[in-house]
Amino acid sequence: MSDIRSRIIGTGSCLPKKVVSNKDLEAVVDTTDEWISSRTGISTRCIATSESAVDVASKAADEAIKASGLAPEDIDLVVTGTVTPDMAFPSTSSMVQSRLGLRSGIPALDVSAACSGFLYALDVADKYIRLEDAKNVLVIGVDLFSRVVDWTDRSTCVLFGDGAGAAVLKAESNGNGILSTHMHSDGRHGELLYAPMDIKEHPFSVKDEAKADDNGSKLREPSTLKMRGNEIFKIAVRSMNGAIMEALDSNGLKAEDITLLVPHQANTRIIKAMKDRLDLPDGKIFVNISKYGNTSAASIPIALDEAFREGRIKDGDIVIMVAFGGGLTWGSVAVRW
Ligand code: ACO
């Protein structure tokens, strides 16, 4: 393999306009601001009212392309992590390609890995770049979980928000860029966190049968998100710590070499547990969950964009992104910025 690396040269993000506070949720389900803030660290989240997934993804992508200094026609691949697209097809990536006037004929694909979606998308993009099949790649993370949560289930509906984030990667050979990617899945634990498809009946459907497939996966349940939060919590801490250690070990780095850890924003208690295990000071871990809740595949690119715009990431810094989500899926990406 050549010495080509994928350098992040622009970031962007877009949140829907409607801000919903914990107090607002007290009118929707039996909950309190105190419970939500103390158990999760979330104060507000943005909820799409008129915006589509392609609307917010396109705005985040447009911002990232502008920040990169490239022209839309320079992009030669689009990869989007999402599990809440507007359409089963065309893909979100193809729709963004059209909306932003990107070159026709370039490949565009979506990746499904729930909250790990953006890191999986970065991993795919990085491999295209290092195999010299693409030079400039637009990578997007977008999810509108307001579409899939059960708004009568207080244990899940208070946790999630909608949004999109994006990054532009460029092939460079100066030593900076993505140093390593480590992606994982363990489908055996899929039932801890899932959202079924809305499978339609058809003229040959057998009523009240085939409630599960051969693997026991649930079919024809209401298509809302189900989560066993307690069990997920423990696995999330263990898996994300493991993925951070893989990133450090494979690059000969130690925890103190990290300039900024950008974790998936699911719960401040999960983030704190990671911080404690690594013995990282507060300034080395980026946390914005209070404003947006868990935005699934959008959470890391939104955090990355905010961290960069706040001046918390500079050339040469070591940034580690780490994610965990439905699948179960998890992974880390280490970058020399
Ligand atoms: N308001 C008030 N009370 C509530 C609420 C609420 N919104 N939700 C639950 N409760 C109650 C429960 O009913 C329970 O009451 P009980 O003791 O009388 O039975 C009590 O609060 C405690 O509930 P727990 O589920 O034990 O609360 P916990 O402290 O574990 O927090 C949480 C729950 C926030 C979901 C936590 O487990 C968590 O963050 N899990 C990880 C989530 C995650 O990382 N998901 C992966 C990414 S998401 C993705 O990939 C799509």
Does some domain include residue 250? yes
- Nearest CA owner, ligand 1 atom 32: 229
Residues 162 and 230 in one domain: no
Closest-CA residue to 77 (of 37, 108, 49):
108
Task: Please confirm, yes or no, whether 176 is among the known catalytic residues.
Answer: no
Backbone angles phi, psi at 19, to 5 degrees: -100, 125
Looking at the chain, the number of H-run helices and the number of E-run strands are: 10, 13
Instruction: Spell out a b/e string for 278-303, using b for 16 or more CB atoms within 10 Å of the CB, else e.
Output: bebeeebbbbbbebbbbbbbbbbbbb
Residues 277 and 329 in one domain: yes
Instruction: Find out whether the peptide bond into 90 is cis, omega within 30 degrees of 0.
Output: yes
Q: Residue 120 C-alpha to ligand 1 middle, in angstroms?
A: 26
Task: Please confirm, yes or no, whether 157 is among the known catalytic residues.
Answer: no
pLDDT digits (tens, 9 = 90+) for 41-52: 999 999 999 999
Does some domain include residue 299? yes
Residues 33 and 163 in one domain: yes
Residues 103 and 23 in one domain: yes
Residue 62 to residues 58, 137, 238, Cα–Cα distance (Å): 6, 13, 36
Q: Residue 107 C-alpha to ligand 1 middle, in angstroms?
A: 40
Q: Residue 215 C-alpha to ligand 1 middle, in angstroms?
A: 27
Residues 157 and 83 in one domain: yes
Q: Which residue has the tokens 């423990």?
A: 234
Write the DSSP assignment of 62-100 as a string of letters: HHHHHHHT--GGG--EEEEE-SS-S-SSS-HHHHHHHHT
pLDDT digits (tens, 9 = 90+) for 284-312: 999 999 999 999 999 999 999 999 999 99
Quick one: average pLDDT of 53-61?
A: 98
Q: Tell me which of 115, 136, 182, 267 is the catalytic residue.
A: 115
Q: Tell me how many domains the chain contains.
A: 2
Residues 185 and 137 in one domain: no
CATH number, position 106:
3.40.47.10
Does some domain include residue 207? no
pLDDT digits (tens, 9 = 90+) for 167-210: 999 999 989 999 999 999 999 999 999 999 888 888 887 766 55
Closest-CA residue to 122 (of 11, 253, 23):
11
- Nearest CA owner, ligand 1 atom 48: 325
Task: Please confirm, yes or no, whether 202 is among the known catalytic residues.
Answer: no
Residues 170 and 232 in one domain: no
